[in-house]
Homo-oligomer: A and B are copies of this chain.
């Protein structure tokens, strides 16, 4: 099989060709591609060269690879749209889980771990003069898939015994509110993009390096004191935040 695009490295020409063949419908959504070895024979290229093309298309979200099973055409990315438009509605910081379920999206939050771990960014935002933070890590399943890893940082001495009072069933915000009487409102949220590190990748069952939507935020207590800094890492192919100005 001759490769059409005449210039550039072989792996790119293979990627372009695979892309076109998928676009033409040669393999339907969810269908299994030939093995890497077989594709290598088709293109007259080594398996590793084909592999490089497949890796690139995987990061772009066009393919999905399952170890031992095969390489598949990824279904069109279904992105959950989360509205962040109405400051009033979001003045009260609520848990991620509720953010989704209130939109009619099936979601469940799981507590991964609570550790005493300092983070320079968190410390800066919480305006702490000395160390001593708790990091609460949770994993959010959306539509049955692990999609969001959250790290919430709070000052340790403001929430003594927090780890023990956790039943794993309530959101971070609810626990802070109910056990410590801390009312929380958002100060700001931010949106960025980064790559999945090994931990993110393992937690969300995606290849390392996959696009991640980085969602940070700071919550204040009712006295206006910085209280909780959260850093969420969301699967880029599943999440989307929308800011509506008018209909």
Contacts and interface: CB of A to CB of B under 8 A. Distances in A.
Interface of A: 12, 56, 59-61, 79, 81, 84-85, 87, 90-91, 185-195, 197-198, 208-214, 220, 234, 236-237, 239-247
A104 to B, nearest CB: 19
A192 B91 contact: no
Nearest to A240: B192
Contacts of A214: 193
B208 A211 contact: no
Given A192-B236, A193-B213, A198-B12, A208 B245 contact: no
B195 A60 contact: yes
A241 B217 CA distance: 12
A187 B59 contact: no
A236 B233 CA distance: 13
A212 B210 CA distance: 10
B241 A60 contact: no
A50 to B, nearest CB: 16
Contacts of A236: 192-195, 211
B247 A190 contact: no
B213 A191 contact: yes
Given A56-B209, A209-B59, A211-B212, A241 B191 contact: yes
A121 to B, nearest CB: 11
Contacts of A185: 245-246
Given A198-B12, A211-B194, A242 B188 contact: yes
6 contacts: A60-B195, A190-B241, A193-B193, A195-B211, A209-B209, A211-B236
B243 A197 contact: no
A211 B194 CA distance: 5
